[in-house]
A and B are shown apart, each in its own frame.
Chain A
Amino acid sequence: MDRNSRFLLKSFRKYYLANAPPMPPRYGRREFGFMFFDRDYVQRHMGFQTPADLRRFMVGQVPSHSYYSTAYYRRPGAPTMDEKEWMGADLIFDLDADHLEGADEMTYAGMLEEVKKEMIRLIDTFLLDDLGFPEEGIQIVFSGGRGYHAHVSLQSVLGLGAQERREIVDYVTSTGLDVDRLFPAVGTANKVSDTSDGRRASVRFNREIPPKNSEGWKKRAREGFEVLVEDVCTLPPQELRSKYPTLGKKNASTVANLSNDLRKHRKFIMENDRMNPMDTFRQELLVETMKEDVVPRLAGEVDEPVTADIKRLIRLPGSVHGRTGLRVVPLTRAELTGFDPFLMAVPEEYSDEPVQITMRRPYEVTLKGERFKLNGTVEVPEYAAVFLVGRREAEIGDGSPDPGPF
């Protein structure tokens, strides 16, 4: 163990002496797993039958990373998956910064803020509205690292298999969504004419739009369509074409004509939920824009492998994260809105006592409301040192070689 690990271990132990992680629901059926500062393997297949057992373990062993299984097992401590006997698993939604576009250019704090926004949308739109989970049935967790998790432990979802959970992911991310079902083309007889072999009706197909009181994807498509219509009617051409690449690919005159036509018929279309007054080409252009540009923006984000995995280990709420020293914080939906990890996930047990560290590179961060702009060998409060050493931004000491333990 080097001096960085020794330092983190000491701070983590102070945390665990004061805070035993709360036991997850049905903990007696869960497997626990841990990583340590002085061992390079994951210790798995552990079961804890009482909260006191877990507390003793945390204080005695001081793991660097702590996990528990989303699954319930008949024998959680058994060494192989077959012997454990799977009984069911929580439904997990995981969002972290890895998938964010342009994450490389964001600060750690900026990334977490973005992920939080997406988590709020995922919960409000998909988990509460569509899937209808009661708010108290969703446990939200700040992971201590790069994102947030939502755990659903309701009886109705515990038995879902991997394939069924993947269907939920596809629902949220709009994978396989048939946009033509949302804007169906309905044929109506247009004009009846007499020909040499009898009467013929020419059929014209008109696109319908999802009505106002829709739910699920129809509701989102309706709202997205309303915005599209507003934009097509009011945005300056340049802006419109760059906001919707599908329109950007068309001639300027095509888009201008679409705008004129839509301004004329907008009221009828939105009131009657069908695009009849416009010609077919323009109807199709709007639907294509919905497909290509609008629907993808309405989709939710979620990490597929995590949700589909029915035997996964996930971070233990109430533990501390070995790479940041931050607490893995359980949150309600109301708490999530105002949650600031750099204020609220820094454990109180890390003191204000100065600790000498040497930065590996210049770094800026705001912790507990205090702004740190750091370079070279500096003294910072213990709580900041834990974060910086955990993140590998700094090392304990003045930069001279590690003398090793006494």
Chain B
Amino acid sequence: MDLLFAARYPFVDSVSEIPEISSVSAEDVVSSPYMEDVRRRGLSRVMEALESAEIGTPSLLGKSDRFTEIMSYPYARILVSCVNDRYLTKRYALAEASRAADYLEEEDPKRIDAIARTVGAKTQIVDGEFKMHFADYLRLASRIKGSEWKLVNHDVGKGFVTLPKGKFVRLLQNALQDRIESELPLDVPNAIANAVRGDVDAISYILADRKSRFATEFTGDLNPDHLPPCIRALLGGAQSGTNLPHAGRFALVSFLNNIGMGSEQILTLFSQSPDFDESKSIYQIKHITGELYGREGYTAPECKTMKTNGICVNEDDLCAREKVNHPLIYYRIKSGTGRRD
């Protein structure tokens, strides 16, 4: 493996077999004066991820550039592990995967194949055609919405989905994100953790600040016990930092708005999402609540629609009652509030 490849994809297992890399100890990385560039780049990987969910791609022309880029990856992982915050970890994994995908777009099929193999996806790249086993395709594509990602709109034969390069790389990005996230946090020895305390504190400070900006409390009387199981699941997902599908976000925002929450309050709930983008989110929320145009917002989808969209989950006895055909009816019964209209 050459250093350039390793610098682009430092998560590949065989990177640690490169002599220049394997000879460096963790102690060196965190404390050697010769590793200052490595630590600076490592910290910026995490900070950039935190602030914009993206990590820039520096020049990799010289050998030392490449070395710094490679070694900064394990350093960044030590930092993320020491902070050990679910939101940060998810956002960092997203940014690292998207950085790698930017490089992958430009690679030839052989190299893309090499990366595909490291994430355990069953793929075939033959004569410039990119193919992925349909089960891997579904696992990686189901979180991306839009009819162009439906399985039915792809050529499927003998178990494999034929994909254009761009889509194939986009799916690898999801797989990389899963992998990077699943490896964190690392078990960091105390001596190492102490040595990186300064950088960890800096990240924690920015992280806390970012969270507090969105942490205004909902002061209305939202009792989670009154929420229907579908909305409870979506809310739980949003708060634990899971990426919700579009239909899920729409249902959650419109529902919360229908029961009286304002756009800002709803925004705080979404701020936990790993790909959270404040300006984009507030726009989407205000679109649904109608605030953007100064008119009435959308009404939350009925149970039938929720079912079609696959977000009707954990149906309970109350859901099963004949007249309960809408999440809002469930809420009104549970909370004892009358119909609004």
Interface residues of A (CB under 8 A from B): 129-133, 156-157, 159-164, 166-168, 170-171, 174-178, 181, 214-219, 308
Instruction: Return chain B residues, CB-CB under 8 Å to A178.
Output: 147, 153
Provide the bound-state CA to CA distance between A214 and B133, in Å.
Answer: 17
Question: 28 A-B residue contacts at CB 8 Å?
Answer: A129-B157, A130-B157, A130-B158, A132-B157, A132-B158, A132-B160, A159-B135, A159-B139, A160-B139, A161-B142, A163-B142, A163-B245, A164-B142, A167-B142, A167-B152, A170-B152, A171-B150, A171-B152, A176-B152, A177-B152, A177-B153, A181-B153, A215-B155, A215-B156, A216-B157, A217-B155, A218-B155, A219-B157
Beta-carbon nearest neighbor of A155 in chain B: B135
Chain B contact residues (Cβ within 8 angstroms of A): what range? 20 to 34
Q: Which residues of B have CB within 8 Å of A214?
A: 155
Say whether B122 faces chain A, with CB atoms less than 8 Å apart.
yes
Per the bound structure, the CA–CA distance linking A107 and B334 in Å amounts to 47
Name the distance in Å between B103's Cβ and chain A's nearest Cβ: 28
Residue of A nearest to B136 (CB): A156
Given A130-B157, A181-B153, also A308-B139 (CB < 8 A):
no
Chain A contacts for B157, CB-based, 8 A: 129-130, 132, 215-216, 219
- Among residues of A, the one whose C-beta sits closest to the C-beta of B161 is A216
* Residue B154 CB within 8 A of the other chain: yes
> Once the chains are docked, how many angstroms separate the CA of A181 from the CA of B135?
22
Asked if A129 contacts B158 (CB within 8 A), the reply is: yes
* A167 engages B155 (CB within 8 Å): no
A216 touches B153 (CB 8 A): no
A139 to B133, CA, bound (A): 21
Indicate if the CB atoms of B310 and A163 lie closer than 8 Å: yes
Task: Judge if B151 is at the interface, Cβ distance under 8 Å.
Answer: yes
* Docked CA distance A131–B153 (Å): 14
Residues on the B chain within 8 Å of A132, using CB: 134, 157-160
Pick from B147, B151, B159, B160 the residue with the most CB of A within 10 Å. B151
Which residues of B (118-169) have their CB < 8 Å from a CB of A?
A: 122, 133-135, 138-139, 142, 147, 150-160, 162
Given A131-B134, A132-B159: A176 touches B142 (CB 8 Å cut-off): no
Q: A171-B151, A176-B153, A215-B158 are in contact. List 17 more A-B contacts (CB 8 A).
A: A130-B156, A131-B156, A131-B159, A132-B159, A132-B160, A133-B159, A156-B122, A160-B139, A167-B142, A167-B151, A170-B150, A175-B152, A177-B153, A214-B155, A215-B155, A216-B156, A218-B155
Q: How far is the CA of A177 from the CA of B147 in the complex (A)?
A: 9
Q: Chain B residue with minimal CB distance to A170?
A: B152
Q: When chains A and B are docked, how far (Å) is the Cα of A132 from the Cα of B124?
A: 14
B229 CB to closest chain A CB, in angstroms?
12
A216 touches B142 (CB 8 A): no
| Distance from B310 Cβ to chain A, minimum over Cβ atoms (Å) | 5
**Chain A residues within 8 Å of B310, by CB:** 162-163, 166, 308
**How far does the alpha carbon of A178 sit from the alpha carbon of B152 in the complex, in Å?**
8
Contact of A174 with B156 in the complex, beta carbons under 8 Å: no
Determine which residue in A166, A167, A170, A181 has the highest number of CB atoms from chain B within 10 A of its CB, and name it: A167
A176 contacts B147, C-beta separation under 8 Å = yes
Residues of A within 8 A of B142 (CB): 161, 163-164, 167
- A167 and B150 in contact, given A133-B159, A157-B135, A160-B139 (Cβ under 8 angstroms): yes
B154-A168 in contact (CB<8A): no
Taking the closest CB of chain A, its distance from the CB of B156, in whole angstroms, is 4
Q: State the 7 A-B residue pairs at the shortest beta-carbon distance, nearest first.
A: A132-B159, A215-B157, A164-B138, A132-B158, A216-B156, A156-B135, A171-B152
Q: Which residues of B contact A177 (CB under 8 A)?
A: 152-153
**Are B139 and A176 within 8 A (Cβ)?**
no
Across the interface, which residues of B come within 8 angstroms of A170, CB to CB?
150-152
- In the complex, what distance in Å separates the CA atom of A216 from the CA atom of B154? 8
Chain B residues whose CB sits within 8 angstroms of the CB of A171 once the complex forms: 150-152, 156
Q: In the complex, A218→B153 CA distance in Å?
A: 10
If A156-B133, A178-B147, A308-B310 touch, whether A167 touches B156 (CB-CB below 8 Å) is: no
CB distance from B298 to the nearest CB of A (A): 22
